Each structure stands twice: as structure tokens, then as C-alpha cells.
Structure 1
Amino acid sequence: MHVDVMTTPQPLNKIGDVARRVQDAGFSGLLFTETGRTAYLNAAVASQAAPGLELSTGVAVAFPRSPFVTAATAWELQESTGGRFRLGLGTQVRTHVVRRYGMEFERPGPRLRDYVRAVKACFHAFRSGKLDHRGEFYELDFITPQWSAGPIDAPDPKVDIAAVNPWMLRMAGEVADGIHVHPLGEPGYITRHVVPNVAAGASKSGRSPSDVAVIVPVMTIVGDTDEERDKERELVRASMSFYGSTPNYAFIWDDAGFEGTTARIREKQKAGDYAGMAAQITDDHIATFATESTWDGLAGALIEKYGGVASRIVLYNALADADRIDRYGDVARRITSS
């Protein structure tokens, strides 16, 4: 099981230092979310600053960029990293895609499936000079040597997608190389939903489920004193309330025995009561959806929870305190060597 660390994109003159610190600490890779800054530019700088570090987008927003633009960007990053780049894509939500990016969002699941296939068709075109993708949403059939990135001395980038509901999980198993599990994806959800649905999708394409990487972000509460853990617990509580406010994720809480959590969070959210949102996340929620431990016990706790079901785990909040990155790196080394 590989261990990555998650970060939001940083100013370009800072991300090189972050990448070097992550590599020196002993992590397998660095995963970039995409917020107000682009994941791709950060990955490009990191690839030069920390050669050998595995890099991935987790996730970049797909629809605002054409499949060809995304494929060409991923291709250059794969070349720059010597084959250590994974392209992680997601739909985002309607409000962001339509009102912030000014793009269409109809039928996002089928659109993303066609998008992934179109990206992979572009990879083939860069090697062969022939572009031929005719899908429901994207038709790509023209390329010339001048406008092709050309072959590279590395395999095609892996293409992963973010998925939560059963249909998207099956689609990931069918067309993607990996699945980015939601930050609320505790082991019960992975067992009940991710594993069987990814397997069903893989079977549809004649693949083994082992061909699809399961990439799981994990929230940790770690410290050797009650005071340390109490502070981190409240940060995790706030993060969970943010993610748990999305209606499409309500079933994750419900399946784990916390029925109505999303409705209660949204009631506080509509009133602008952010402290009230966090208060809906009980210590029982945290015990189920996060991993709490002392430093000596953290590696074992993560292996026990995610070993055998996750291909990669991504430490969600390891960079929140730069003074502790080396301690998290020691945990990562112990997990990858186990």
C-alpha cells in the first residue's frame, strides 16, 4: 500500500520546497486537489523540484477543459516525471461547472465516461498519429504531426476518476485505471459500495478488479497527548461537516448508521451557523470516519483499516502542520515497507 500526502495547489514559487520536503520525508507521492489554483501547474513545478516523486491530480476538474487539452497536459507531465504521473479527474458539481466555469453539466456521469475514453484516444493518437474517438459527447478525429505531442519514453498516464455513487463506481471499474474514494469513504463504505461496484464495472470490460487502483484519502487525529488530539479532532469535525453537507453523499452517513446527518448539517448551513454544522458531527462519527492514534500506533491503525482494500492511501491533513511532516513521513515508510 502506497502512502501519498494531499495538498491544495500553492503559489508556484513555493510548491517546489513542499515537493522536496514530501519526498525527503518518505512519502510515495504528492497529490494535488484543484481549487482556485490549477493542479497541473503545481505538478509541473513539483516534477522538476523533486524528481522521482510520484505526482497525481486528485482531482482536476474535467469539463472546463477539452479532452485533448487535458490529455496533452497529462502527457507532458508523464514525460516530465519519467512515468510517475496519474491523471485524476472529477465532475465537480453543477453550480461550479455552470456558474463558475461557464460550461455544460448535463448527464455528468455519462459525460465523464466519454471524456475518459476521449483522453485515452488522444494518448493513442500521440503515439500513432491517428485520432479517432466518436462518443456521445465528444468527437475527435483530426490530428497532424505539428499539433501532436508525439510519443514519449514512458507508458500512457493512468487515468483515475472521483466517484461516490454506485453508477459512477461501476463506470470507474469499466473505463478508468483508478478510483478516488471520497474523503468520507470509511472502510464499511468501501466494502459495501466501492469494491463490488468497481468489480462489476471491471467485469463488463473484461478486466480484473485488481486493474483498478483504489485511492483513499484518510483523515487522521494523531498525537501523544490529549491536548494534541483534541485540537486535531475539532479540525476534522469541521472538515467532515463541510463534506457531509452535500446531499449526494447523505447515503454514506446513513449506511454507516448515522441517518439524517446531512439534513441536520444543511439546516445549520442554511442559517449560516458553521459552528452548528460542525456540532452535528459527533465523536461517534469521528471514530467511524477518521483514524485516531498515538504516533507509534498510527501506521498499524491505518494498515488495519485500509490494508487489503486500498492501493494507495492519501493523508488528508498531514501538511496542515509543517513541523510534523517528518513524523508523518516515518509513518508512511513503515506502511509501505510492511
Structure 2
Amino acid sequence: MVRAVRVDVMTTPQPLQSIGDLAQRTQAAGFDGMLFTETGRTPYLNAALAAQAAPGLELSTGVAVAFPRSPFVTAAMAWELQEATGGNFRLGLGTQVRTHVVRRYGVEFERPGPRLRDYVRAVKACFTAFRTGTLEHRGDFYSLDFITPQWSAGPIDAPDPKVDVAAVNPWMLRMAGEVADGVHVHPLGEPGYIARHVLPSLAEGAAKSGRSADELAIIVPVMTIVGDTDEERHRERELVRASMSFYGSTPNYAFIWDEAGFEGTTARIREKQKAGDFAGMAAQISDEHLAAFATESTWDGLADALTERYGGTATRLVLYNALSDMDRFERYGEVAQRISNS
């Protein structure tokens, strides 16, 4: 079965004075939404300004780092963004990795999977509290039981925001199926990985909470290599090669390479990484890796190629590198329109 698919553009948060123009251009190009992935700048202010500049654009954090912010603070920001977008905001949360959380943000990281599960439940308890005036959540990591009208955002004329989580390994995927509204698949999540791990693990988690996996959003970032000549595709091919080597250096993701038939890829990348050889890292990503983990096509064929690879599983496709060359941005928007309207 081919599922209806929405198409977003992925961006890191931009300087606040420029995000409005980018949101308007994104909407005019034909994308359904924007996904803000947290890096050095926070995603929530970007989403707020995008909501004002381009009403109707679907916005999400993909993902925001959860633990440095209390569940109540995160819930309040998501609530206001849901109101500002008229119900078109999704809250995407992730754990990040220990080094960033402990040494950059200065907060705890123990048992990140169970902590994120409790965090999601706490956020949803806050949503309920904004409507009812009663806050009651007691978990292993967060206990929330006090709210007054003065410190509540109050009801809004929109449904509660959907809460999605980033997940890679089977435990996290099952947790997403159990407590979240959707999952952010990793950028290395090629169709085989989705079939082997994402779909069955989400279904198992959903069944545990008495619901169907069909209720869950599957948000898939896709790396594309597109052009009508090999020369046109060469630049994107090398950008994707570098991006894959960056993600592929993480030990927790090694099994994705291995199961796809590229055993030892992570170890080879990490050897170059430790030597500071970034070109050498990228060189570990062969053309065979690219063929398996990216989608390469002509412009006319890209929409069909993405639909064929992901149409039976993804509910949202996120074009990972659509902003790598702004001269081609509108062409990516045309592809997005073809997918959404198919």
C-alpha cells in the first residue's frame, strides 16, 4: 500500500532576521513544511518566526534536544507553536549523545532511552494540564504535580501537538511506538533498515499501548543526488558522501551499515576520523554505499524514485540536502509537489 506522503525541507535554524524569507520561499516552492534540526541555534524561535511569515506551513523540530529543557518548558513552547500554526506543529525530540548533553549542556544523561520515554509522557501530561488545570505525572525521572492558572498557557483552539522521537535501535523504536506519535528515522535509514527494524519495532510498541502502528508518523530524511548530467550530480554526490561519513562514524549506527552488506564501514571511518583525515573519512563511502543509502536520479525521475523507495512506509519525507544549492531549491519544491499530489 502506498501511503499519502507529505514533503518537508530540512534546515538548521537560521539567523532570526532571515528565517521569515526562507519560510516564505519554502511555501512558495511547494513544500508542505519545514523541519528544524537543533545544532548551534535553537529551533523553537525559528519555528515561531516561520509560523508568522508563512501561515499554513507545517513546522516541526527534527529534532530538538530534550534533556537540557524541563518537560514543562518544552511543552509550553510546543503549545504556543501549535497555537501559532493553527495546529500545524509537530514536536520532535531526541537524546543527542552523552558528550554533548553532559559536557556542553551540563545535564544528566544516564539511561537516555528510559529517560526520554518518561520525558515524552511528562510533556503530554503538561498538555493535559494546560486544558484541565490539573498536572499529574510521576515517572522514574520526572515528577510534576503543581500548576496554577497564572502559570498555565491555558486551552488552545487546536489539538494537542504531536510528539515524535528520534530512534535508531530496536528498543528506542519500540519505545516510540509505545508512547510517541511518530518516529524520526535516522538519515542512514535506507529502505532495508526500515523494513527490518522500524516497521516491526513500531508495531510492537504500538501494540503494547493498545493502538495500531498505522496511527504513527514515520518521518524519513532522504539524501538525494539529482541532476540531468553526471557533472550536475557530481557535486551533490560528494556532499552526500561527506554527510554519510559523518553519520557513519557513530558506533551505535554500525549495525545499519553491516546489515546492508557493508561490514566494517564504521571502523574504517573512525580510523580516519581519529587521524583528523576528513577526506579519508568520506573516501570510505563508496559509490555502492551511495546507491544503497541515497536516491540518485534525473530531475524528472526523482519524485517517482523517492515514491518507489519510500511510498509504502514514510508518511513524511524530509529532503535532506534541498538547501545545499539555493539555485536549485525551487526544482526540489516541484519534486515535493509531485510527491504530495500523487
TM-score bracket, normalised by the shorter chain, equals over 0.9
Q: Is 1:246 matched up with 2:250?
A: yes
Q: CA deviation at 1:204?
A: 0.2
1:88: which partner in 2? 92
Q: Is 1:10 matched up with 2:14?
A: yes
2:329: which partner in 1? 325
Deviations 1:274-305 (CA, angstroms, capped at 9, x unpaired): 00000000000000000000000000000000
Size of the aligned set, in residue pairs, is 338
Question: In the alignment, residue 115 of structure 1 is paired with which amino acid?
Answer: Y
Q: Give the Cα–Cα distance (whole angstroms) in 1 for the partners of residues 22 and 320 of structure 2.
A: 15
Alignment RMSD (CA, Å): 0.4
Gaps (5+ residues) in structure 1? Answer: none
Deviations 1:113-145 (CA, angstroms, capped at 9, x unpaired): 000000000000000000000000000000000
1:281: which partner in 2? 285
Q: Is 1:43 matched up with 2:57?
A: no
Q: Is 1:148 matched up with 2:152?
A: yes
Q: CA deviation at 1:211?
A: 1.0
2:237: which partner in 1? 233
Q: Give the Cα–Cα distance (whole angstroms) in 1 for the partners of residues 63 and 213 of structure 2.
A: 21
Q: Give the Cα–Cα distance (whole angstroms) in 1 for the partners of residues 195 and 92 of structure 2.
A: 22
SS at match of 2:323: helix
SS at match of 1:318: coil
TM-score by length of 1: 1.00
- Which consecutive aligned stretches of 4+ in structure 1 deviate over 4 angstroms post-superposition? none
**Mapping of residues 133-282 of structure 1, within 5 Å:** 133-282=137-286
Question: In the alignment, residue 258 of structure 1 is paired with which amino acid?
Answer: F
2:136: which partner in 1? 132
1:303: which partner in 2? 307
Deviations 1:47-91 (CA, angstroms, capped at 9, x unpaired): 000000000000000000000000000000000000000000000
1:117: which partner in 2? 121
Q: CA deviation at 1:188?
A: 0.3
Q: Is 1:105 matched up with 2:109?
A: yes
Percent identical residues: 83
Q: Give the Cα–Cα distance (whole angstroms) in 2 for the partners of residues 205 and 106 of structure 1.
A: 25
Deviations 1:293-321 (CA, angstroms, capped at 9, x unpaired): 00000000000000010000000000111
Q: Give the Cα–Cα distance (whole angstroms) in 2 for the partners of residues 192 and 113 of structure 1.
A: 22
TM-score by length of 2: 0.99
Question: In the alignment, residue 286 of structure 1 is paired with which amino acid?
Answer: L
Deviations 1:184-231 (CA, angstroms, capped at 9, x unpaired): 000000000000000000000001001110000000000011111111
Q: Give the Cα–Cα distance (whole angstroms) in 2 for the partners of residues 10 and 72 of structure 1.
A: 22
2:68: which partner in 1? 64
Q: Give the Cα–Cα distance (whole angstroms) in 1 for the partners of residues 284 and 323 of structure 2.
A: 26
Q: Give the Cα–Cα distance (whole angstroms) in 2 for the partners of residues 27 and 333 of structure 1.
A: 7
